[in-house]
Structures are given as structure tokens and as C-alpha cells.
């Protein structure tokens, strides 16, 4: 009689890397999500809309054969940040990449001589304060993961804007919030260096999204007149490809660096 051979050798279970993308259900965030999905990342997508309102894009991501969860919550609120992170921990148990992308523009573009305190507070809460404290929580979690496993790979990407260095008097609160984000990225790059967790800043230029649609005609004209070296709109995928490179540890020894994705908009020129 034949003897059934049993295999008791340890099985290696391959686990996908995971990423949390705030504001990942549309615009630049969705472009980043698609690029990460293409390289096999499981994704936690955050947004303020309900999951049903985002279902079309979530299903597009799932079609890449990855796990996608939706984490509804406002990064500008303490409770919102906790809800987001609690769900990521419960569903995945670890996080390799945090992409801080969520951000808002002023409801109304107003000259800084008349812009309101309410608008300023809203943008600082969501664009800056929320990012600072969500990054803080995630950084501490990543430190725990690295302490448990020194080979654990983790990266943080802070999406800011060319408005971090270019003044726009009709949206001063937006520029201030983005300039603050630039420092947030530097601070965490310095603090997390000892744990070998690189932190990067990405500064998109004029990117074609629903946020820029209200000024599309204006920027289309300016781009054709040479506002940027490359006479075209940037796309969410232009930003996504940069983040995907970071996600694959292509810049593991370049923490604190700034990736400018603006078609040469901020190049010094005569």
C-alpha cells in the first residue's frame, strides 16, 4: 500500500504591502492609488464621502486584484483621525506606506486683505494640523512595527504643493497651510531617521482634478503662454508614479527630499 507523504515544511505566506492614502478616492489621491495598485499594494482609501459615493473608484482599484478598504473620516478632526487609523489597524495590522494627500481649497478665493478667519481655520485644521497629528500617530505605529521587525519597510509621503513656496494672494490660507506641510515633512524626516523610516515631500504643480476645474480656463491659457516649461496640465498619474517609486524603496537613503512635480513651473527663468 502506498504511504501518503505529508509535507510539514513551513509555508511562506506572501503578504502584500499596504498603504493608507488620505483623500484617495478622487483627484491626485486616486491617481496615486492606481499607481500603487498596479505594483500590488493593498490599499486603505480615506475620504469624507460615504463609501457608496466612492464605490465606482473603489471597484476600479479592486479590479487590480488587491484588497481595498474604505476609511471614512475627516483628518481635520481628532475623532476622524482615530477612526481612520483604527480601521487600518483592524483590517491590515501593519502599514508600509502613509500618503498624506487630503486637502481642501478655500471655498472662495479672496485677497488676503479681506479673507476670513473662518476660512483660515478650516484650511489649517484640515491641511496642516490634521496632517501633523495623523502623521504623528502613524509614525509611532511604524516605530513599533520596526522595533518588532527591523526589516519592516516603511515610508511616509507628504503631499504639499508648489504653493508652499509660491505666494498666491487670492488664497493665502492655502499657501500658508502648504508651507507648513513642507516643514512637517522635514520635521518627521529628522525625527524618524534613527528608525530608518524615510519621509518625503511631493509638491504637485497645476494638476487636472476636480479641485482645479473651477479655474481650468484660466490655467489652460497660462500654460499655453508658457507658465510652465512643459505646456500641459499635470495629471494625477504624474504624481502617482513618483509616489510608487518611493513605495518601492527606490529612494531609501534620500529621506527629507522634495519631489517637485510641476512641469518646470518653479524653474528659475529669464
- CB neighbour class for 166 (10 Å; exposed up to 12, middle 13-18, buried from 19): middle
Is the pLDDT at 4 greater than 60, yes or no?
no
Report d(CA 255, CA 150) in Å as an integer. Answer: 18
Q: Which of 47, 63, 38, 64 is nearest to 237 (CA)?
A: 38
**Collapsed DSSP state (helix, strand, coil) of residue 156:** strand
Q: Tell me the longest C-alpha to C-alpha distance in the chain.
A: 92
Q: What is the CA radius of gyration of the chain?
A: 20
The confidence score (pLDDT) of residue 1 equals 47
Question: φ and ψ at 192, to 5 degrees?
Answer: -95, 0
CA separation for the pair 235, 7 (Å, rounded): 50
Contact indicator for 45, 33 with CB cutoff of 8 Å: yes
Q: Is pLDDT at 34 greater than 90 in this prediction? A: yes
Separation CA 145–CA 93 (nearest Å): 10
* 21 within 8 A of 44, measured Cβ to Cβ: yes
Angle of helix 51-62 relative to helix 27-38, nearest 10 degrees?
A: 30
Mean pLDDT of 193-217: 92
- pLDDT for res 210: 82
Q: Which of 8-17, 83-92, 230-239 has the lowest mean pLDDT?
A: 8-17
pLDDT in tens, 73-130: 999 999 999 999 999 999 999 999 999 999 999 999 999 999 999 999 999 999 999 9
Region 264-269: what's the mean pLDDT? 95
Q: What's the length of the chain?
A: 270
pLDDT at 6: 56
Q: Label residue 69 by pLDDT band (50, 70, 90).
A: very high
- Bridge partners (DSSP) of residue 247 are none
Q: pLDDT digit string (tens) for 235-256?
A: 999 999 999 999 999 999 999 9
Percent of the chain with pLDDT over 90: 90
Q: What is the mean pLDDT of the chain?
A: 94
Burial of 239 (0-12, 13-18, 19+ CB in 10 A): buried
58 φ/ψ angles, rounded to the nearest 5 degrees? -65, -40
pLDDT band at 12; cut points 50, 70, 90: low
Sign of the Cα torsion 231, 235, 238, 239 reads positive
**pLDDT band (50, 70, 90) for residue 158:** very high
Mean pLDDT of 168-192: 97
Q: Is 70's pLDDT higher than 70?
A: yes
**Strands of 42-47's sheet in order across:** 68-72, 42-47, 18-21, 97-100, 155-159, 199-204, 258-261
Evaluate the CA torsion angle 79, 138, 97, 92 in order and state its sign. Answer: negative
pLDDT > 60? residue 8: no
Q: Which helix (H) or strand (E) holds 71?
A: strand 68-72
Only one residue has cell 488676503, namely 112
First to last CA, the chain: 88
Amino acid at each position: 500500500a502506498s504511504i501518503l507523504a505529508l509535507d510539514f515544511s513551513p509555508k511562506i505566506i506572501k503578504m502584500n504591502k499596504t498603504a493608507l492614502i488620505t483623500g484617495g478616492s478622487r483627484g491626485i489621491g486616486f491617481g496615486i492609488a492606481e499607481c500603487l495598485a498596479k505594483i500590488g499594494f493593498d490599499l486603505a482609501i480615506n475620504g469624507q464621502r460615504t463609501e457608496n459615493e466612492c464605490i465606482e473608484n473603489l471597484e476600479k482599484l479592486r479590479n487590480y486584484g488587491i484588497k481595498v478598504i474604505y476609511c471614512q473620516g475627516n483628518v481635520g478632526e481628532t475623532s476622524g483621525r482615530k477612526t481612520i487609523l483604527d480601521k487600518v489597524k483592524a483590517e491590515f495590522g501593519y502599514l508600509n506606506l502613509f500618503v498624506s494627500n487630503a486637502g481642501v481649497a478655500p471655498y472662495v478665493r479672496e485677497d488676503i486683505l479681506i479673507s476670513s478667519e473662518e476660512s483660515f481655520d478650516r484650511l489649517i485644521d484640515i491641511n496642516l494640523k490634521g496632517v501633523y497629528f495623523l502623521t504623528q500617530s502613524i509614525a509611532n505605529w511604524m516605530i513599533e512595527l520596526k522595533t518588532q521587525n527591523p526589516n519592516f519597510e516603511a515610508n511616509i509621503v507628504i503631499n504639499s504643493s508648489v504653493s508652499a513656496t509660491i505666494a498666491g494672494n487670492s488664497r493665502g490660507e492655502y499657501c500658508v497651510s502648504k508651507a507648513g506641510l513642507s516643514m512637517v515633512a522635514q520635521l518627521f524626516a529628522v525625527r524618524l531617521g534613527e528608525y530608518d523610516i524615510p519621509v518625503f515631500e511631493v509638491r504637485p504643480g497645476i494638476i487636472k482634478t476636480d479641485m482645479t476645474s473651477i479655474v481650468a480656463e484660466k490655467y489652460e491659457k497660462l500654460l499655453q503662454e508658457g507658465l510652465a516649461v512643459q505646456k500641459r496640465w499635470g495629471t494625477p498619474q504624474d504624481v502617482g508614479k513618483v509616489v510608487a517609486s518611493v513605495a518601492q524603496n527606490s529612494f531609501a537613503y534620500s529621506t527629507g527630499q522634495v519631489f517637485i512635480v510641476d512641469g518646470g513651473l518653479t524653474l528659475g527663468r529669464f
